[in-house]
Amino acid sequence: MKENSYFENELSIINQLLSDRRNFRFLYKLSIIASFLSNLGLLVIHIPFRKKIEQDKFVAFARVGRVKEKLTKVLVNTYYIEDEIRKMNFSIFHIGPRKERIKFILCDYVKFCKMEYKILSDKILLENNQKVDENTIAQYLMIRIPHAMVYKFAIEQTLAEYQKGIVFTGQMYDYYAQIEKEVCHLYNKQLICFPHGIESTQKLPLGYSGDVFFASSQKMANLLNNLYNTQKFLYRKKINERLYKVNSEISKNLQGKVVFFTQPLMVETTKIIIRKIAQYLKSQDCVLYIKVHPLESSKDYIIENTILIDNFTYAISNSLCISLVSTILLEAGFNNSEALSIVGIVDGMRYENYPYLDQNTIPMPNSEEEVFAIIDLYLNV
C-alpha cells in the first residue's frame, strides 16, 4: 500500500509531539496491539450483520451526531455512514462483506500500521529533539491513526458498491475529511460539503473537503475561491436557512433572554467574562443562561447567577446569543435572535482574523461597558 496523501497533513502535528525513538517504538507497538484487539472484538461482535447500501438512497458521511443533525435538514432519503464512538454506534463495522472485513483486520490493517510507523519514524523521529509526555504520544497514536484506517476501509467498501455519483459530508478539513475526499476521488464520486462549522481564510495545506462546498456567506465564498484559485465555494441563502434554522413555532413563543454559548477555546478567559456578565445581569435582576459546547463539561461552568441549558432549540431561539467566534453567531439571525461576539475584549484576539463575523450584523464591542450597553438595549433596561 502506498503512502496516503491525507496523512501528510498530520506529520507537522505529530512532529511537535514525538521525540524519543525508544519510547515511540514501544508506545506505537502497544497502540497497534490495543487497537487491533479492540477493532477485532468489534468486528466479531458485528460479524453477523452487514448493512447493504440501498441504491435509491444517497450516501452521507456523518461521524458525530451534531454533523448528522445538520445534514438531515438539507438531505432526505439518505444513508449515513456514522462513527459515533462515544455513543457506541459502530455502524462502520457493519460495512463490507464479512470476508473482506476479516481480511482487513488480520492482514491489511497490521501492514498499514507498520507502514505508518515507518513513515513516522523515518520522517519525524530522526529529526526531532523535543521531549514530550509519553501519555500524549500514546493517546494520539492509539486512537487517532489506527482508527482512521478502519474508517477508510469502511467508506471504501461503501463506495465500491454505491452506484450514484454524488456523496455528501459535513466534515470540513479534518483528518477524516481528507480520507473521505481521497476515497471519493478514487471511486469517481462528487463530494458535496454542507459544513458543520465555520471557514477560515488561513490557507490549509490540503484545503477544504468537497468538490462543492457551501460557504457561510457570499463574502466567505469569494475569499476562499480567491485563496484556493477555485470556483467550488458557493453561497446559497436558502441552504443556510435550512442548515441553521430550528423550529420556528417554538422560537416565536419564547421570552427573550441572554445566553452565553461556550467554546473549547480560551476557556479560562471566557469564564472570567461569563462571571462579569452574570454579575452585571444580577444587578439588573436578570439571569445569564449558559449553553455548554458538546466537547466541554457542564461541571466546569457552575457559576453564580447562571442557569445551564441543555436544549439547543431553547437556547438559540429568541435570545441575545453571546459567544467568542462560534457558529452560533451566524445561526442566531436565522432564529429570531441577536448575536454578540466578545472577541474584541479578549487579549490577543482580533476580529480581523475572523472574516466570517460580519460587523454589520454582529456587534463586536471593544470594552466590557459596551457589552453591558448592548445587553441593556436588548433587555430594554
Query: Could you tell me whether strands 212-214 and 233-234 are parallel, antiparallel, or unpaired per DSSP bridges?
Result: parallel
DSSP labels for 291-306?
Answer: E--TTS-GGGG--TTE
**What pLDDT shows up at residue 142?**
53
Please indicate, yes or no, whether the overall pTM of this predicted structure exceeds 0.95: no
What is the distance between the alpha carbons of residues 274 and 266, in angstroms, rounded to a whole number?
12
Return averaged pLDDT per consecutive 10 residues of the chain, 381 residues in all. Answer: 42 46 58 61 51 77 82 86 52 60 63 55 46 50 63 80 89 85 92 88 84 92 93 93 78 77 88 94 94 89 94 91 90 91 81 72 89 92 50
Residue 162's Cβ-count burial label (10 Å; 0-12, 13-18, 19+) is buried
**What pLDDT shows up at residue 162?**
85
What is the distance between the alpha carbons of residues 211 and 201, in angstroms, rounded to a whole number?
18
**What pLDDT shows up at residue 339?**
93
Paired with 166 in beta bridges are 190
**What pLDDT shows up at residue 265?**
81
Domains (ranges, CATH) in the chain?
5-243 (no CATH), 248-379 (3.40.50.2000)
**What pLDDT shows up at residue 160?**
83
What is the distance between the alpha carbons of residues 28 and 13, in angstroms, rounded to a whole number?
16
Helices (H), the chain: 5-15, 21-45, 65-71, 98-103, 109-120, 134-139, 145-161, 175-186, 218-228, 237-244, 248-252, 267-283, 312-316, 328-331, 368-379
**What pLDDT shows up at residue 251?**
54
**What pLDDT shows up at residue 231?**
95
